[in-house]
Amino acid sequence: MLALLSPAAAAPARAAVPGDTWIAELAVEGGDDANVVAAGGAVRLAGATVRAQSARSPLAEGELLLAPRRMPSPVDRVSADVTADVPPGAQVTVDVRGLRSDGTWSGWVTAAPGGPAVLPEATTQVQVRATLVAGDHGAGPALQRLWLSADRTRAAVPAAPTTLPIPAAPGTAAPAPLATPAVSSRVFATREGLVGGTTANGHVIVNRDHFVALPSRRGLSPRDTGDYTVKVCAPNGRCAWSPVWDVGPWNTTDDYWNPAATRQTWKDLPQGTPQAQAAFQSRYNGGKDGFGRTVANPAGIDLADGTFYDDLALKDNSWVTVTYLWTATGPSGLAKPTGAPTLVVRSAPSDASSAVGAVAGGARVAVQCTAAGQLRSGTQGTSSSWLRIGPAQYVPAAGVEAPRVASC
């Protein structure tokens, strides 16, 4: 079957400001794609066993991540026109994100037939991702052409920068921009395990790994990045900052952290309530998940073994508080530990203080302020500055690539 997905008509409420139109270069390069190959004039599944491991999805999938594109003027809406051979049951999904004014990426927004992706703020840089999912009998789609157009529908706002924040010398003080609080919810966490498997973004799971899975690709980080990071806090008081590298548990289209207006599916559920939780506790959807399977637990997040055992010191599946850090705006930094997979989080700016959690390498943390403390050396040099990333939660600035922030 040949599928032609056309962009939607302009929003009737207000005239759009012209932006940019382009044909995407469907090249598999850069090492950030997963299980796709360019062959025969199309992008296809490469055939490797890549799927939403946490969701135990039976369907092979692949991901083509296009290079970020700079716009000639700020845009906040992107339409996609896809030409593809799509066998029965197969899918080609196009998602878009924009670089925000604080230098971080917005969440992924789907550009569906008749519904362009509307970004949360105007931006001068967008990135597009195409996800290919196999259908009946394992037959995969073939993406042949991707035509994109962007414009602005809202009143002009300051454009997002075209580069990420420039790292500053640890401890250098500067006023922090206004921040939007992140969404948090209490959900049931399970242990993913599955060492040796390949996650939805192409990461191969290693022993005692440090990442999480959420049941929607809208919060899926590109491989080896922490663009979408969660803060998970256990009942014992320990917290873990881990990147989202897989899709699941149970579902693959349940972005339950989003409000009903933008939630992809199960829009009648309260914000923060996973579909699996509602199915398990109140027999929502007949007690079944999006694949039609009977839900055996209320899990809304899966934790890799290192996150589960080492960072949070959990002994069994547990209710936890999850903060979806990309839903906030404000200063943030990337954890870059030396000689270890994580940075230890301390209750005060000193190694003598108690350990209260861990930040996975590459995870993005919200940076509140800088405090003077014990001298430490790391990937960012030698400094006595520590970054506060939560109440009584500190990491050495020498191990975090971060912008300048004010003193605590």
Domain segments of the chain: what residues?
A: 2-25+66-152, 183-327, 332-401
Q: Which is more confidently placed, 114 or 285?
A: 285
Locate 232 and state its tokens: 């998970």
Tokens describing residue 164: 């990420």
In CATH, the architecture of 183-327 is: Beta Barrel (2.40)
Q: What are the Cα distances from residue 123, in Å, to 62, 100, 158, 359?
A: 27, 6, 8, 29
The pair of structure tokens assigned to 123 is 């931006």
Identify residue 86 by its one-letter amino acid code.
V
pLDDT at residue 125 is higher than 80 = yes
What pLDDT is recorded for position 183? 98
The per-residue pLDDT for 342 is: 98
Token pair 């199309």 in the structure block, residue: 42
Looking only at the bridges linking them, the beta strands covering 212-214 and 299-303 are antiparallel
**Which residues touch 210 (CB under 8 Å, ≥6 apart)?**
240, 242, 304, 306, 307, 310, 311, 341, 342, 358, 360, 361
The confidence band for 161, taking pLDDT boundaries of 50, 70 and 90, is very low
Would you say residue 312 has pLDDT above 90?
yes
Residue 1 pLDDT > 80, yes or no? Answer: no
User: What is the C-alpha separation between 390 and 124, in angstroms, rounded?
Assistant: 31
| 240-254 tens-digit pLDDT | 999 999 999 999 999
pLDDT at 259 > cutoff 50? yes
For residue 30, the model assigns a pLDDT of 78
pLDDT band at 16 (very low <50, low <70, confident <90, very high): low
pLDDT for res 112: 84
Residue range 152-158: average pLDDT?
65
| b/e sequence 3-41, b meaning 16+ C-beta within 10 Å | bebebeeeeeeeebbebbeeebebebeeebbbbbbbeee
Q: Would you state the pLDDT for residue 7?
A: 35
Give the pLDDT score at 49.
72
Q: Mean pLDDT for the chain? A: 90
Tokens read off for 86: 């799509």
Summarize pLDDT for 171-213 with one digit per residue, the tens.
334 444 557 899 999 999 999 999 999 999 999 999 999 999 9
CA pair distance 224, 222, nearest whole angstrom: 6
Q: For 1-15, 169-183, 335-349, which range has the lowest pLDDT when averaged over its residues?
A: 1-15
> Measured between alpha carbons, how far is 408 from 387 in angstroms, rounded to an integer?
9
Least confident of 33-37, 75-79, 95-99, 133-137: 133-137
pLDDT > 90? residue 126:
yes
Whether the predicted pLDDT of 170 surpasses 60: no
* Cβ-contact 5, 81 below 8 angstroms: yes
pLDDT of residue 165: 35
What per-residue confidence (pLDDT) applies to 48?
66
SS3 assignment, position 65: strand
What is the tens place of the pLDDT at every residue in 66-97?
A: 999 999 999 999 999 999 999 999 999 999 99
> How much is the pLDDT for 50?
73
pTM given for the model: 0.90
